[in-house]
A and B are shown apart, each in its own frame.
Chain A
């Protein structure tokens, strides 16, 4: 099964940063053996895009350990990896623990295709939190074609009512808004070096 949306590290990172207090759950489907790499790249992008702490949690110790970690964890966006080690029983157990997984910050599940199927079939209560917020991991998403780059820049200009020059100037003068889209804008303009100015 293919979710029609594909997202790369930059956009996922921006989403995690911009949805800091919304407690939204997302599922990202990656090829086998790439869940951790995808989570790490997304975490780097999210840290660049905002100030919310990002933590990658390995869930392979089992559902109960995960629930305990999540209950005790200070506010942070949590990126969960390692579901491919879950047994059928683990998925059912995780589903029964759902009340203990509630958080105010974003949670992203990095799943293989098989794990996504198990989530859907064996943990319907948790899957219900994710709803339709699934995307397929696109490891090459940062490499946009010139047309895609131009189209995205047009959307940003329209959305914020600013020119590229205004955004660069604001970054240079340390008064650029701390918004994920502003970081994305600078990166698209090839001025990622200005991110630290923001």
Chain B
């Protein structure tokens, strides 16, 4: 063995490997967006974003309510985080990003959850400030935590209670009467008042927020993860009850909501509750939006330098991603990985093609004949109604992508990595 040669080789090889590892570390589809922002990988979109609009509206109207809706991986969480950071720069405003699913199992969504989650988060702020010596603060913090997580209460059993009966069985025998509550005769068309448990939670939230108002009187809460809800009624109730309760308290709210809210009967919630403050966070229309293309290329070049990811490969990646941010990151990671394994120094179009094929294949899992027909029809006619559950499933699983079009309408396309595969299927059949 040539011992003089090996170390030199090792050093060069290690440098290449280390470089590629660095790129791969910046191309993690499962990465928490907060970390990407902290690592300086966030790129601001010159043409503005949902976050920009929300920030300017909340600066003027701190207790307003906003809904961000978009496909998976379209950057909703990033927008909430950027909004949080910007609002915290405003002198009189405290903004808190809350991933609801980290505090509550959102498959068990019910009215009051957002109010209580907000209370728990504020209670943590109080605890973090180590001001438990203040009795009112301590009581407020403990009260909301008990309400949220439950607690054991000791109850004194009256002497004259039946030894074998429960507390509920106890009936006073001294001439008192238990009040018999009459139900309302008329049922209002829409329930505007808060449920008793939401009202109670709301009072506890007010108590825990009060001490925090001294330095920053305005509070904005940004609730994430609700876009993963599949039960639209549960989301509707949360909006009806919790958002109303928070609004009554004067707390600003930004929600990341499910894409399905834009369709069918649920659309009315968007119209009635959010009016102008509704922000579709859609994929960047890479075939028509030159500024959007530049933005996405900047996103990639923050992670991988142009010398390794040249323009030609970049543009092909953009095309295959359909302008969905996380899909773009996933595809680029696969292409960079392929480049490294092939021993190449830079990403070639052939690496992108291989990555795109693998990416598209996952959309074929469980795809049914009538869904393939829907996709082919969309491709041919450009028509997609989104009127059935199956249609909406194609949208929520991103086999179909939606873009904002002129006049407030939508343009739909088949995911660009799936299209060639279903064409092949069609030809084969």
Contacts and interface: CB of A to CB of B under 8 A. Distances in A.
A and B: bona fide binding partners: yes
A1 B365 contact: yes
B334 A133 contact: yes
Contacts of B314: none
Say what secondary structure dominates the interface of chain A.
helix
Interface in B280-337: 326-327, 330-331, 333-334
B302 to A, nearest CB: 17
A198 to B, nearest CB: 14
B322 to A, nearest CB: 13
A197 B94 CA distance: 58
Interface in A121-138: 121, 124-125, 127-134
Nearest to A161: B9
Given A120-B362, A158-B343, A165-B1, A131 B327 contact: yes
A1 B361 CA distance: 8
B405 to A, nearest CB: 24
A96 B361 contact: no
A78 to B, nearest CB: 13
Contacts of B14: 177
Among A25, A93, A160, find the residue whose CB has the most chain B CB atoms closer than 10 A: A160
Contacts of B30: 23-25, 102, 129
Given A155-B343, A160-B9, A128 B24 contact: no
Interface string A80-124: 000000000000110111111010000000000000111111001
Among B2, B30, B73, find the residue whose CB has the most chain A CB atoms closer than 10 A: B30
B6 A170 contact: yes
A119 to B, nearest CB: 7
A150 interface: no
Nearest to B393: A121
A22 B1 contact: no
A120 B363 CA distance: 7
B262 interface: no
Nearest to B398: A124
B56 interface: no
Interface string A10-50: 00000000010111110100000000000000000000000
A123 to B, nearest CB: 9
B148 to A, nearest CB: 17
Contacts of A118: 366
B230 A128 contact: no
A127 B101 contact: no
A131 B9 contact: no
Contact of A93 (B107, B364, B398): B107
A97 B366 contact: no
B170 to A, nearest CB: 37
Contacts of B106: 96
A99 B32 CA distance: 9
B426 interface: no
A159 B9 CA distance: 10
Contact of A131 (B31, B105, B330, B397): B330
Contacts of A177: 10, 14
Nearest to B230: A92
B357 A4 contact: yes
Nearest to A170: B6
B365 A120 contact: yes
A124 B397 contact: yes
Contacts of B12: 161
A134 B25 contact: no
Interface in B368-399: 393, 396-398
A141 interface: no
Given A3-B358, A19-B24, A128 B107 contact: no
Contact of A5 (B1, B10, B358): B358
B132 to A, nearest CB: 27
Nearest to B367: A1
Contact of A121 (B6, B326, B397): B397
A132 B330 contact: yes
B122 interface: no
B102 interface: yes
Interface string B1-38: 11000100110111001000000110011111000000
26 contacts: A1-B365, A2-B361, A3-B361, A4-B361, A5-B358, A19-B24, A22-B24, A24-B333, A96-B105, A96-B106, A96-B107, A97-B107, A99-B101, A99-B102, A117-B365, A120-B362, A120-B363, A120-B366, A128-B327, A131-B334, A133-B330, A134-B362, A161-B12, A162-B6, A162-B9, A170-B6
Interface of B: 1-2, 6, 9-10, 12-14, 17, 24-25, 28-32, 72-73, 99, 101-102, 105-107, 225, 228-230, 326-327, 330-331, 333-334, 341-343, 355-367, 393, 396-398, 417
